[in-house]
Structure 1
Amino acid sequence: MPTRVFTGLKPTGSLQLGNYLGAIRPLLDLAADPGADVVVCVADLHALTVEHDPALLRARTRELATTLLACGLDPSARLFVQSTVPAHTELAHLLECTATYGEMTRMVQFKEKSAGSDSIRLSLLTYPALMAADILAHDTEVVPVGEDQRQHLELTTTLARRFNARYGETFVIPRGSTPPTTARLKDLRDPRSKMGKTGSDGAGVLFLLDDPDTVAAKVRRAVTDGEPSLAFDPDGRPGVANLATLLGALTGRSPEEALAGLRGAGALKSAVTEAVVAALDPVRCRYAELEADPAEVDRVLRAGRDAVAPGAVATTARAREAIGLLGVA
Structure 2
Amino acid sequence: MFKQFLKKCYIIGTVPFNFCTMSNSWPDRIISGIQPTGILHIGNYYGAVKNWINLQNSNEIICSIVDFHSITLSYASKLLDHKKLPENILLMTACLLGCGLNSEKSILFLQSEVPQHTQLCWVLSCLTTVPRLARQPQYREKSENIKDIPSGLFFYPVLQAADILIYKATKVPVGKDQLQHLQLASHLARKFNALYGETFPIPELIFSGNIASKIKNLRNPHKKMSKSYPDKLSRIEITDSPDDITEKIKKAVTDCTSQVTYEPDIRPGVSNLVGIHSVITGRSPAALCDEVKHLNTGQYKLLVAEILIETLKPIQKEINQLLNDKSFLISVLKNGAIKASKITSDTWTVVRKKIGCHYFL
TM-score scaled by length of structure 2: 0.86
1:185 maps to 215
Measured in 2, the distance between the counterparts of 1:172 and 1:228 equals 52
Instruction: Give the 3-state SS of the residue equivalent to 1:311 in structure 2.
Output: helix
Matched-pair contact (CA < 8 Å) for 1:247–1:271: no
Measured in 2, the distance between the counterparts of 1:84 and 1:278 equals 37
1:309 maps to 341
Of 12, 16, 34, the match for 2:37: 12
AA aligned to 2:276 is L
CA drift of 1:322 comes to: 0.9
Of 33, 39, 58, the match for 2:86: 58
Is 1:281 matched up with 2:313?
yes
| Deviation sequence 1:102-142 (CA, Å, 0-9, x none) | 22111111111112433011111112111111111111111
Of 69, 73, 76, the match for 2:97: 69
CA drift of 1:9 comes to: 1.1
Measured in 2, the distance between the counterparts of 1:154 and 1:71 equals 29
| Deviation sequence 1:206-246 (CA, Å, 0-9, x none) | 11110112111212222334544322233443332221111
Task: Give the 3 Å change call, closer, same or farther, for CA 271–93 of structure 1 in structure 2.
Answer: same
| Deviation sequence 1:86-112 (CA, Å, 0-9, x none) | 111111111111111122111111111
AA aligned to 1:25 is K
1:253 maps to 283
Instruction: Give the 3-state SS of the residue equivalent to 1:188 in structure 2.
Output: coil
Task: Give the 3 Å change call, closer, same or farther, for CA 102–198 of structure 1 in structure 2.
Answer: same
Of 350, 357, 360, the match for 1:318: 350
1:167 maps to 196
Matched-pair contact (CA < 8 Å) for 2:27–2:170: no
Matched-pair contact (CA < 8 Å) for 1:79–1:304: yes
Task: Give the 3 Å change call, closer, same or farther, for CA 124–202 of structure 1 in structure 2.
Answer: same
Of 228, 232, 239, the match for 1:209: 239
Superposition RMSD in Å: 1.8
Measured in 2, the distance between the counterparts of 1:111 and 1:223 equals 29
Measured in 1, the distance between the counterparts of 2:113 and 2:257 equals 54
2:19 maps to none
Task: Give the 3 Å change call, closer, same or farther, for CA 102–227 of structure 1 in structure 2.
Answer: closer
Measured in 1, the distance between the counterparts of 2:220 and 2:310 equals 24
Measured in 2, the distance between the counterparts of 1:275 and 1:157 equals 41
2:56 maps to 31
Task: Give the 3 Å change call, closer, same or farther, for CA 104–235 of structure 1 in structure 2.
Answer: closer
Is 1:327 matched up with 2:350?
no
| Deviation sequence 1:158-199 (CA, Å, 0-9, x none) | 112211221233223222222342332222233333221112
2:14 maps to none
Greater Cα offset, 258-267 or 22-31 = 258-267
Aligned length: 327
Matched-pair contact (CA < 8 Å) for 2:196–2:355: yes
Measured in 1, the distance between the counterparts of 2:122 and 2:345 equals 14
Of 149, 152, 160, the match for 2:181: 152
Measured in 2, the distance between the counterparts of 1:115 and 1:96 equals 23
Measured in 2, the distance between the counterparts of 1:257 and 1:236 equals 19
TM-score scaled by length of structure 1: 0.94
| Deviation sequence 1:7-44 (CA, Å, 0-9, x none) | 111222221111111101111111122xx111111111
Instruction: Give the 3-state SS of the residue equivalent to 1:80 in structure 2.
Output: strand
Identity among equivalent pairs (%): 36
- 1:119-158 mapped onto 2 (5 Å cutoff): 119-158=148-187
Greater Cα offset, 264-273 or 78-87 = 264-273
Greater Cα offset, 85-94 or 317-326 = 317-326
Gaps of 5+ in 2: 1-25, 75-79
Instruction: Give the 3-state SS of the residue equivalent to 1:39 in structure 2.
Output: strand
Of 140, 156, 159, the match for 1:111: 140
Is 1:300 matched up with 2:310?
no
Measured in 2, the distance between the counterparts of 1:90 and 1:236 equals 48
Of 252, 264, 270, the match for 1:222: 252
CA drift of 1:147 comes to: 1.8
